A = this chain, B = another copy of it.
């Protein structure tokens, strides 16, 4: 994403751009959108705040670049239909732990309309598309995706943002065994069973 689209000469400033992005993700994840100041991000990247403006235009532009994200959902059509829930929880858990971009997006979405829009896009598009691959009733697809998102985001919110002690301390494997049946029912079950 830092590299130019057309094969021009690789820019000498690519390292700086990457350092800014890395610092921005850290700060946005730790402090949210408004508390993460351009000055602090620039200090972390050991450059001048004005460089951030030159390379990313504005704070909004910087966040848009830092919050670029792909859920990298596995192909659910290739998963045995009674393991969908477990596969999904495991995938999301690994994704949250391995990349702080999602936490940055989650924190920022609470106060920044652009971040909320981005979050809607990611979960409405990517997740809904994944749910649609093992198409049952198309009318229910969006609702299933929404319910899955509510449990996944709630898990992330309590574990990484609010840091509820029982959710922070719990063993990831036990978390999977609790939450997998929930997603399984949201994906393949019917209400009021």
Contact = CB atoms under 8 A, between A and B. Distances in A.
A151 interface: yes
Interface string A145-172: 1110111111101110111111100100
B151 A153 contact: no
A88 interface: no
Interface stretch (A15-23, A69-77, A102-110): A102-110
A159 to B, nearest CB: 8
A173 to B, nearest CB: 9
Interface stretch (A3-11, A30-38, A46-54, A56-64): A30-38
B163 A146 contact: no
A155 B158 contact: no
A95 interface: no
A163 B113 CA distance: 11
Given A151-B151, A163-B116, A111 B111 contact: yes
Interface residues of A, number: 51
Contacts of A146: 158, 164-167, 170
Q: How many copies does the complex hold?
A: 2
B170 A109 contact: no
Main secondary structure of the interface of A (DSSP, over half): helix
B143 A153 contact: no
A119 B109 CA distance: 18
A79 interface: no
A94 interface: no
Contacts of A120: 162-165
Given A153-B154, A162-B120, A32 B186 contact: no
A30 B124 CA distance: 22
Interface of A: 31-35, 106-111, 116, 119-120, 123-124, 142-143, 145-147, 149-155, 157-159, 161-167, 170, 174, 177-182, 185-186, 191-193
